[in-house]
Structures are given as structure tokens and as C-alpha cells.
């Protein structure tokens, strides 16, 4: 009997030509199924995220300060911006121009009377850039926040669907017709209805019985409404004569404010200002705005005419430093939002609010450190050490004025010893730079505070080093600590500073009179010399601020401009308004 040989495994065979297309088609089909499943998940997530984001956005609110009020902003599906003014004044609304609207509920404010409040509304409405930017930024923040939260919530249904799995989903589907399934559906329905609360309803409000009407209809045919306010609607009792008088006053203030400042800004584009030469940089210096937002567009127009790429704010943007004055900071930021911005706070910008708020808005708020300035220069500044109310008194808090002056000079001189001479000292009161100039450690000290121009004054300091002191007049045209009104209460000043090779090179002041005319002063070049110490002595001048051959003005003997006549004591080219 022959021995049987063990069988050998069959050799693998190559796939036939008929098999290869079949396998290829199967792989493509599986890939297509995976791709379609991924696309379905992505589309489902987008749908869930969108629904969640829209719901969160429409249900959100933001508390902030706006138009001198604490306000609550709420997005809504209407096409209007609706402002609820409170129980005395009528609500107002305006077409938003976008697919959604915003509800603005005004809260508390600081104002002596309803009449003053209405005038303030009209003034702010005539210069709306800051308010509009504030609302727009708040809505964008709310939308971004809702989108991020919606994207996260949109993942929850996808995760639950995936974690349950197809087998478990089939089991749950088979149990729906059972008593347990019906009970589960009823419980879910009851929860949804409880959250919806269709039976709940609020009592009718006073406003519910009032209809919206155009502003022209509310005021009557005898009061002309400005063209840009024709789309404004109000909801109130048109038979209340007191309310009508308030709105009439607001319309009058609006027309005067918008006309005066818009005309001034337009004519600023034709002023005979010096423009920077090659290698030069110009910045605008503003100070003592005291809430006059109307001058912001004028200051920007002057800066544009002079080719300015930055702005110095020497403080006193507000009258008290209160949060209700955020509208003033919003306005000046909106006017100069696309240029470099440096600021210090003034004696009326009490507390931390103004400095902190400007920093949040993107300003470089100086606090005693040397920083980069315009045109390759160096910049040093500090907040004003004093605080004051609406009167003319001044009280020192913390470090005294003289102590801050000395410490500021120490910082400037230390920078010079390190080979980084301070080009500009930005302060609210130029007196804070007296010792720095006397010790020869700074090229130019600029400030405000006096509400009138002083300088530029040449000071020869320690070792023959030359510097200048310059005080800008009030940019807000403020006679006292507040300048809100249909036009400046005294001549308003803006100064253009020129820099060359990292050092200040010249000054040119522009004054807007209360009559609407401009006075453009001649460009004044600054002769700073080399900035190199000529005499090596150890003892600086014993009288801080009175260096060798200094030309110091009497800070208390300047002529006081007459706000009624428009006289400002300046000499220069006068540009009158068109008659």
C-alpha cells in the first residue's frame, strides 16, 4: 500500500480581471458612504449650531453706558433700533437698515433737569459716531459670544446620537408604540410646554395703547424736522404740551449742533496748514474737551488736513470722570480710531474710570514709563495728581504736585543717562514739566489745563540743553468744566505738532471761534540744538523751571478770550465761515 503524501496548501491565485473591478467598486462605495455620513454630521451640526446661536443671540443682553446713561441692549427680530427713554419722554425708534434690530432700555443718569437731559440727547444725536460705534461693538461682541456658545451646543445632539449607536436607536424606536414609549413622549412634551408657558401673559402696559407715529406728525406741521430725522418715529402722547415743547427744543438743539460742527469740519479741509515734508510726522494735540463731542470731528478734520498720523490727548476729556461720561471717550475714540493714540488723564478725570476705559478702547495711557512716540520719538507722561469738582478749586491727593514734578524729572533724566532722551513729555498741566526742562532732560513739554494757549516757550536748561514748553487751549471750547452745547462757549483750539528725526520740530495752532471762523497761527519751528550736554556741571539750576536764559511766561497774566466776540488774542490767518 503506497504512502499517502501530505497535501500542500493551494497557491494563492491572482484575482481575475472580473474580480478587480468588483472589489474596487466596493471600496469606492464604502468610501462614499463614509463621506456622506461625515457630510451629514457636518450639516446637522451646522443646523443645530445656527439655531442655538440665533436663539442665544436674540435672548442675550448687555449692560453698558451709552449717551450718558446706564443702558441694557437687547437684539431683536424687528427692523428697528428702539430706545425706551422712561416714563416722562416718548420712546423713539429708527429703521436699523439691517435684518435685525436692537432694543435699548435707558437707565439712570446724572443730569440736573429733564430739559438739560433732552438738550444732551439732541447734542449727542447730532454727533452720533461715538454712540453708533459703541452699540455696534456691543452687538458684535454679543454675536461672537452667541456663535461660540452655539457651536458648542450644536455638538451635543451629534454626540448623543453617536454615543447611543444605531442598534440602541432601533431598540428605542421599536418601544415607542408601547405604553412606556408613549409615557416618555408625554413627559418630554410636558417639559417643553412648561418651558414655553403659553398660558402666561403680562398685563397690558401704557405703551401698548400707544401707536408709533412719525416725528413730524408728533410735532405738527408748524415745526420743521431735519431731513436726516424724517425716518424717526416716536411713541407717546402728542397731546402733552410739555413733552412737545421738550422735543421741539431737542430738534432746535440738534439742528444748531449738527450745522455748526459739520460746517466747521468741512471747512477745516481748506485751512492753510503746513503739511509734513519727507521724513516728518505730524500729530494732533487736544486737551480739555470736557464732553464736547462735537469738536471731535473738527479736530480729526484739522489733523487730516495737516497729514497727522496720531493724536495726543492731554486730559480733561470729562467734567467729573463719571461713568455716565463714557460717551465722550467713545466719541474721541471713534474720531481717531485708525491712528496712533496716546493719552493722560486730567484733574477733572477723577478716579480710575477714564484712564481704564481709554486703555480698553486701545489708547496708550501713559503712566510714568518712557514709550515709543510718533516718528521714532520717545514719550513720557503721567496722570494729573490732582482732582477737582465742577468748581475752580484744586485739591491734591496722594503725591503732591511738586513731588510728581520731581519724580517725573528723575525718570526723564534717568532715560537720558541711558542714552534715550525724552522727546516729548505729555502731561495735563505743563507745569509738571518745569523741572524736567530746567534739568535739560526733555525736548518738549505739552499740556493743557489753562483753557488758553501759552507758548511755545524756549527754555535753556542745565548744560545748555534746550527744551520747549507749550500749553494748548481748550479743544472743547469750555468756559468752565463742561462744554456740552450747540457750539463752543469760548474759542476752541487744536494744535498740530511736527516731528523730524525722532525729535519735535514745530508747532502750529488752529482756533475755531464761537462765530464759526478759524484763526490759523503761523508754523513755529523749534530750535532744539544738538541735544548734547555742553557743560558738565553737577548742580542744576536751583529754581526748577527757570533755566539759564529761559523765557518763562507769567502763567496767570494771559489775556482772557471773550467768548461772545470770538476774540482769542491770537494772531494768524483768519478763515471766516461762509455767509
Q: How confident is the model at residue 150 (pLDDT cuts 50, 70, 90)?
A: confident
* Confidence (pLDDT) at 236: 60
Range from 90-99, 422-431, 487-496 carrying the lowest mean pLDDT = 90-99
DSSP E strands, 85-131: 91-95, 101-109
What are the respective helix, strand and coil percentages of the chain, to the nearest 5?
40, 20, 40
Reported for 34-41, long-range contacts at CB under 8 A and 24+ positions apart, including other chains, are 41/158
Q: Does residue 547 carry a pLDDT above 50?
A: no
For 322-331, 412-421, 459-468, which range has the lowest pLDDT when averaged over its residues? 322-331
pLDDT of res. 561: 39
More confident residue, 328 or 537: 328
Binning pLDDT at 50, 70 and 90, where does residue 568 land? very low
Q: Cα(449)–Cα(469) distance, rounded to whole angstroms?
A: 13
Q: Give one DSSP letter per residue of 457-504, joined into a string.
A: EEEE-GGG-EEEEEE---TT--SSS---SSS-SS-EEEEEEEEETTEE
**What pLDDT is recorded for position 456?**
92
The pLDDT value given to residue 106: 73
**261-309, pLDDT tens digit by residue?**
888 888 998 999 999 999 999 999 999 988 888 888 899 999 999 999 9
Lowest mean pLDDT among 5-14, 36-45, 557-566: 557-566
Q: Tell me, what's the pLDDT at 58?
A: 82
pLDDT at residue number 104: 79
Average per-residue pLDDT for the chain: 75
pLDDT at residue 522 in the model:
94
**In terms of C-beta density within 10 A (0-12 exposed, 13-18 middle, 19 or more buried), how is residue 523 classed?**
middle
- In which band, very low, low, confident or very high, does the pLDDT at 92 lie, cut at 50, 70 and 90? confident
Mean pLDDT of 506-517: 91
pLDDT value at residue 448? 92
pLDDT in the model for residue 6: 54
- In the chain, CATH 3.60.21.10 covers 282-553
CATH for 282-553, options being 1.10.287.370, 3.40.430.10, 3.40.50.300, 3.60.21.10 = 3.60.21.10
Q: Does the model's pTM come out above 0.85?
A: no
- How confident is the model over 417-429, as a mean pLDDT? 90
Cα torsion angle, 451, 364, 393, 438, sign: negative
The angle subtended at Cα 502 by Cα 499 and Cα 505, nearest 5°, is 30
Q: Which of 486 and 136 is assigned the larger pLDDT?
A: 136
Q: Which of 429, 466, 394 lies closest to 555, judged by CA?
A: 429
What pLDDT is attached to residue 392? 37
- Whether residue 31 is preceded by a cis peptide bond, meaning omega within 30 degrees of 0, is no
pLDDT tens digit sequence for 426-467:
999 999 999 999 999 999 999 999 888 998 999 988 888 889
Amino acid at each position: 500500500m503506497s504512502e499517502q503524501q501530505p497535501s500542500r496548501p493551494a497557491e494563492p491565485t491572482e484575482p481575475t480581471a472580473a474580480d478587480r473591478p468588483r472589489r474596487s467598486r466596493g471600496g469606492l462605495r464604502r468610501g462614499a458612504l463614509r463621506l456622506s455620513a461625515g457630510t451629514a454630521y457636518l450639516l446637522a451640526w451646522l443646523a443645530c449650531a445656527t439655531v442655538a446661536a440665533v436663539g442665544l443671540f436674540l435672548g442675550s443682553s448687555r449692560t453698558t453706558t451709552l449717551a450718558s446713561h446706564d443702558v441694557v441692549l437687547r437684539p431683536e427680530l424687528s427692523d428697528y433700533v428702539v430706545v425706551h427713554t422712561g416714563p416722562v419722554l416718548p420712546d423713539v425708534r429708527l429703521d436699523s437698515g439691517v435684518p435685525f434690530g436692537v432694543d435699548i432700555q435707558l437707565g439712570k443718569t446724572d443730569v440736573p433737569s429733564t430739559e438739560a437731559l433732552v438738550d444732551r440727547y439732541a447734542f449727542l444725536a447730532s454727533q452720533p459716531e461715538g454712540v453708533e460705534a459703541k452699540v455696534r461693538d456691543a452687538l458684535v461682541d454679543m454675536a461672537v459670544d452667541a456663535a461660540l456658545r452655539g457651536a458648542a451646543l450644536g455638538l451635543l445632539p451629534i454626540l448623543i446620537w453617536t454615543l447611543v449607536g444605531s442598534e440602541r436607536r432601533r431598540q428605542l424606536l421599536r418601544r415607542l408604540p408601547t405604553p412606556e414609549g408613549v409615557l416618555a413622549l408625554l413627559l418630554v412634551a410636558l417639559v417643553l410646554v412648561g418651558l414655553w408657558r403659553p398660558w402666561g401673559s403680562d398685563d397690558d402696559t401704557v405703551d401698548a395703547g400707544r401707536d408709533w407715529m412719525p416725528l413730524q406728525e408728533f410735532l405738527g406741521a408748524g415745526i420743521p424736522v431735519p431731513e436726516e430725522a424724517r425716518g424717526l418715529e416716536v411713541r407717546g402722547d402728542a397731546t402733552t404740551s410739555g413733552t412737545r415743547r421738550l422735543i421741539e427744543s431737542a430738534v432746535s438743539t440738534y439742528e444748531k449742533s449738527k450745522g455748526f460742527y459739520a460746517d466747521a469740519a468741512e471747512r477745516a479741509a481748506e485751512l492753510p496748514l503746513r503739511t509734513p515734508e519727507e521724513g516728518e510726522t505730524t500729530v494732533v494735540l487736544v486737551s480739555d474737551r470736557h464732553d464736547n463731542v462735537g469738536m471731535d470731528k473738527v479736530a480729526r478734520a484739522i489733523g487730516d488736513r495737516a497729514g497727522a498720523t496720531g493724536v495726543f490727548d492731554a486730559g480733561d476729556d470729562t467734567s467729573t470722570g463719571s461713568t455716565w461720561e463714557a460717551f465722550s471717550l467713545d466719541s474721541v475714540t471713534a474720531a481717531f480710531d485708525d491712528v496712533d493714540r496716546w493719552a493722560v488723564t486730567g484733574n477733572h478725570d477723577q478716579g480710575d474710570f477714564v484712564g481704564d476705559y481709554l486703555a480698553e478702547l486701545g489708547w496708550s495711557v501713559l503712566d510714568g514709563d518712557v514709550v515709543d512716540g510718533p516718528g521714532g520719538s520717545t514719550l513720557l507722561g503721567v496722570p494729573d495728581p490732582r482732582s477737582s469738582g465742577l468748581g475752580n478749586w484744586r485739591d491734591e491727593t496722594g503725591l503732591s504736585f511738586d513731588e510728581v514734578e520731581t519724580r517725573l524729572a528723575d525718570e526723564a533724566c534717568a532715560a537720558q543717562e541711558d542714552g534715550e532722551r525724552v522727546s516729548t513729555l505729555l502731561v495735563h498741566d505743563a507745569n509738571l514739566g518745569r523741572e524736567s526742562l530746567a534739568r535739560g532732560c526733555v525736548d518738549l513739554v505739552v499740556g493743557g489745563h489753562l483753557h488758553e494757549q501759552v507758548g511755545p516757550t524756549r527754555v535753556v536748561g542745565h548744560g545748555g540743553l534746550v527744551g520747549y514748553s507749550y500749553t494748548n487751549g481748550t479743544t472743547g471750547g469750555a468756559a468752565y468744566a463742561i462744554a456740552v452745547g450747540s457750539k463752543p462757549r469760548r474759542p476752541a483750539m487744536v494744535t498740530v505738532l511736527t516731528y523730524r528725526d525722532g525729535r519735535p520740530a514745530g508747532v502750529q495752532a488752529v482756533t475755531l471761534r464761537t462765530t464759526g471762523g478759524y484763526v490759523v497761527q503761523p508754523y513755529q519751528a523749534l530750535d532744539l540744538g544738538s541735544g548734547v550736554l555742553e557743560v558738565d556741571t553737577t548742580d542744576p539750576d536751583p529754581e526748577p523751571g527757570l533755566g539759564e536764559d529761559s523765557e518763562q511766561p507769567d502763567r496767570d497774566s494771559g489775556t482772557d478770550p471773550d467768548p461772545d466776540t470770538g476774540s482769542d488774542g491770537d494772531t494768524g490767518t483768519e478763515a471766516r465761515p461762509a455767509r
